[in-house]
Amino acid sequence: MIKAILTILMMLLSLNAFGQALTAQQATDKLNLVAPSLPFSGTFEQLKYFKVLKHPLKSHGTFDVNKQRLLWQTLAPVKSAVLYENDMLYTINSRGDKKPTPQGSDMSTLIFALLQGKFKELEKVFNLSTDKRRNCISMTPTSEPLSMALNNVVLCGQGGIDKIELFDSKNNKTIIHLQFASQK
C-alpha cells in the first residue's frame, strides 16, 4: 500500500516538474537570463542528426549580431552564410553568391529571439514549458508554418543561452552549441 502511494506521489511530482507551462517571465527567471546587449558575436558548433545516418554532420562557424544585421557564417566543412540586413534575409554560398530568401524577416526575427533568449517574443509563436533538464526551456510551435517545420525547440543555459536544440517534423535533430565573445 505504501509503495503504491509513493509511486503515485512520484508520478504526480514528475508531472509537475516536467512539461509545466511557463510564462515568458518564468522562463527568463528559470534560466537566470541576462540578454546580451547589442552588438554581440561568437562562435557555434552545430551537430545535425539525421535518422538515416549513424553519425551527426558537424559544422562550425561564427555569428555576429547588431540591431540592423545578423550574420550566421558556417566556416567548415563548407563555407556558407545566412545574412539578414535591410529587412531582407539572404543566403550566401561558398562562392560568395548572395541570394534573397522569401519571407526571411520572420526567420531572422526568430533567430534574433533564440540567440538572446527573448521569451516575450518567442511566446508569440511557441508554448513555453519546463524541460526535464534543469537549465532548459522546451518550446512547442503554435503557428501553422512553424509547426510544419519544427516539432520542438529547446533553449538551454544559465545566465545566457548556450545551447539550442531543434527537432524537425521528420524526427531529425540539430544541436547548436553557442560561445559568446566578450561584448563589443
> Please, are residues 180 and 167 in contact by the beta-carbon 8 Å criterion?
no
Cβ(83)–Cβ(69) under 8 Å? yes
Q: What is the pLDDT of residue 101?
A: 83
3 state SS of 48: strand
* CB atoms inside a 10 Å sphere around CB 16: 10
- The per-residue pLDDT for 183 is 52
The separation between CA 148 and the C-alpha centre of its own chain, rounded to angstroms, equals: 16
Quote the pLDDT of residue 167.
95
pLDDT per residue as tens digits for the range 148-179:
888 999 999 999 999 999 999 888 999 999 99
Q: What is the mean pLDDT of the chain?
A: 84
Each residue's pLDDT tens digit, 63-89: 999 888 899 999 999 999 999 888 788
| pLDDT over 80 at 184, yes or no | no
Look-up: residue for cell 538572446? 116
pLDDT recorded at residue 15: 38
* Across 53-61, average pLDDT: 95
Give this prediction's pTM: 0.83
Residue 105: the pLDDT is 59
Domains and CATH numbers, the chain: 21-180 (2.50.20.10)
With vertex at residue 135, the alpha carbon angle to CA 132 and CA 141, rounded to the nearest 5 degrees, is 65
Pairing mode, strands 80-85 and 150-157:
unpaired
Mean pLDDT, rounded, for 21-25: 92
DSSP-derived 3-state class of residue 53 = coil
User: Has residue 13 got a pLDDT over 60?
Assistant: no
